[in-house]
Amino acid sequence: MEKAYNLFRYIKLGGMYLSGFTIFIMMFIIVLDVVLRNIFNLNVIGSYEISQYYLMPLAFFPALAYVYSSGIMPRLEMLVERFRNAWQRYILIFLFVIELILFLLLTYHGLQYALNGTKEVLAFTMKGKVIPFYPVLYFVPLGFLLLSIEIMFLIFKNIISEMPILKISSK
């Protein structure tokens, strides 16, 4: 299980780097657009659409599992800590199973939306051209799938361990 999680760590790290790079590109486009508008009275054509349809999904969803594993996202830790140590692990497993079900449902419905978007060839217009954006829609279910895998690892770790584990420590 450790080898599988170490491989998954690299996948999460790749998602985080993709999101970070996307945020950098988005900031660059926005700054360039603001500078060109205010100094030269020009604009970057399609900067709003590119940011909205391509960069925003790529900035958020690939890093979702990494953010969850780092402990930044809110959890019910304070509630779990109120119970005796003997019950904490079972309550955590129960909460993780509920989260897993919810995120798998989001994965499923996100995939359905992406498949419908592919079938309908979702696109936007920019300078008279139709630009498809449906390929980016697949990053939504991918992000939730990675998050579900992270939660599965947490469930397995809590089943194996005698102590409650809220996050898997990074090496």
Position 64 scores a pLDDT of: 93
30 neighbors 50 (Cβ within 8 angstroms) = no
Position 2 scores a pLDDT of: 87
Full pLDDT tens readout for the chain, 171 residues: 889 999 999 999 999 999 999 999 999 999 999 999 999 999 888 899 999 999 999 999 999 999 998 877 777 677 777 887 778 888 889 989 999 999 999 999 999 999 999 999 999 988 889 999 999 999 999 999 999 999 999 999 989 988 888 778 655
Query: Which residue, 162, 164, 148, is CA-closest to 11?
Result: 148
Query: Which residue, 67, 52, 65, is CA-closest to 22?
Result: 52
Which two three-digit tokens encode residue 6?
């170490």
Position 70 scores a pLDDT of: 86
Position 171 scores a pLDDT of: 54
Longest dimension (CA), the chain: 67
Position 80 scores a pLDDT of: 76
